[in-house]
Amino acid sequence: MRVGYISLNSIEEPLVQSQVLSYIKGLAARGVDYWLLTFEPEAPDEGRQRRIQAELQSFGIQWYWTEYPRRRSAMAFLSALNSATRKVFDLLAETPTDILHARSLLPAIIARRVSRRTGVPFIFDVRGFWAAEKAYKRRLPLAFLSWRILDRYERKLMKDSHGIVVLSEAAGRLLRKWDARRGTQKPLEVIPTCVNTTRFRPGPRRTEARAVRLVYIGSLGPGYLPVETMRFAKLAESVFESVELLILSRTEDTVIRQAAAAAGLNPDSYTSLAVPFDEIPARLESCDAGICFIAPHYSKIASCPTKLGEYLSAGLPVVANDGIGDIGEIIRSNNVGYAVDNFGEHELSNAAGAIKALLADPDKTRRCVALANRVFSLENGIDSYHRLYDAVANT
């Protein structure tokens, strides 16, 4: 079986390194041939291209790239979309392909265009409800497109696809309900953002007295609540004797400093580092609990933060908030953290107290790791993708 995988994200992005490549390398080891097309904000230099291509070819993956529109204009957007579509047509002409795998909405637009002309089935890998999410973050790609237009088109892509991936059971239930109303039923897999549990592992049990170290991984941009994250760390100082906050993020230092100031968190109480993805597992080994705050919104019922599985696999209890995919239910039903239902001072203080109690629980690490292995393991995700490919190929 040969699959053409289209990703809007750059090959250099941590998300592609931790998610896309982890999945397709695992599937390639099971006999799936891949070509991978990524959108790049600028042309990689020739030396870098050769290194990436050689590395991926060693796994049986052919990598290609196309230009991502850097200018937010209709002409640039449509030009990039048309260029990428032509690239996919060319790849299909050169390399017979059984399935197109489109990660997110814009790749799905391309895949649908190509599928209608060639008959190659496409899978829509839904990474959250894209149109609604971009609207609430005020980041729609083109000013003249309303989110309602994009939302209707996104639903049409789901309807026309030959298989669907969603990140949460909540989203799966909703899409199955839409299918039932249409009188259709297509292959659908719920695959939360998975983690390589052999890389993310608990660190040595600490014996020395030191500050409780909280950690936050990932963007603190729009929708990721940097002030609330800092405020939790500030309130935790009244629960623990000493607190350190480690931020592993590429977010601009200005944003982080402003959030800390707004929350009243002393600059000496946190450290912000931009580290390669490969270094994150080792960084987590010295931490005690993870933070995962995201602004709740309708679009987020279809989300599953990557950091959740990474924290749990590293044995860390998690402070998160309700309204994000299945996260609240997962945390409460497995006793691996605290899910706040608001960001008020009282609720955040309750969360800090709950984490203190969990850190004294000798069984907490085992529960976190067991949950990661059961729900978020990379092997489970690979199994689910392989099952979906077989279902689509045989439909």
pLDDT of residue 222: 78
Closest CA relative to residue 76, chosen from 141, 134, 149:
141
Q: Please classify residue 360 by burial: count the beta carbons closer than 10 Å to its beta carbon, then call 0-12 exposed, 13-18 middle and 19+ buried.
A: exposed
Q: How far apart are CA 184 and CA 197, in angstroms?
A: 36
pLDDT, position 142:
47
Which segments of the chain does DSSP mark as H helices, in order?
14-15, 21-28, 46-57, 74-94, 105-118, 130-136, 147-160, 169-182, 226-236, 253-263, 280-284, 306-313, 327-334, 345-359, 364-371, 378-393
The Cα 212–Cα 167 span in angstroms is: 31
Contact 344, 352 (CB under 8 A): no
Write down the pLDDT at residue 374. Answer: 96
CATH 3.40.50.2000 fits 212-376, yes or no: yes
- Write out the chain's pLDDT in tens, 395 residues: 999 999 999 998 888 988 999 999 999 999 999 999 999 988 888 888 999 999 999 999 999 999 887 666 667 778 888 999 999 999 999 999 999 999 998 899 999 999 999 999 999 999 888 767 766 655 555 444 566 777 888 899 999 999 999 999 999 999 999 988 888 889 999 999 999 999 999 988 665 557 899 999 999 987 899 999 999 999 999 999 899 999 999 999 999 999 999 999 999 999 999 998 889 999 999 999 999 999 988 888 999 999 999 999 999 999 999 999 999 999 999 999 999 999 999 999 999 999 999 999 999 999 999 999 999 999 999 999 999 999 999 98
The Cα–Cα gap between 192 and 135 comes to: 23
CB 338 within 8 A of CB 308: no
- Residue 118: alpha-carbon gap to chain centroid: 30
* Residue ranges covered by each domain of the chain: 2-194+377-393, 212-376
> According to the model, what pLDDT value does residue 149 have?
76
Cβ atoms of 125 and 5 within 8 Å: the answer is no
* Secondary element (H or E) of residue 190: strand 188-190
The dihedral region occupied by 236, where left means phi > 0, alpha psi between -120 and 50, and beta the remainder, is alpha
| CATH class given for the domain over 2-194+377-393 | alpha beta
Q: Scanning the structure block, which residue is given the tokens 């729009």?
A: 222
Name the pTM for this structure.
Answer: 0.88
- CB-based contacts of 368, cutoff 8 Å, min separation 6: 202, 311, 312, 313, 314, 315, 316, 317, 336
Residue 298: the pLDDT is: 82
Given the DSSP bridges, would you call strands 212-217 and 188-190 parallel, antiparallel or unpaired? unpaired
The domains spanning 2-194+377-393 and 212-376 adopt the same CATH topology: yes
DSSP-derived 3-state class of residue 273: strand
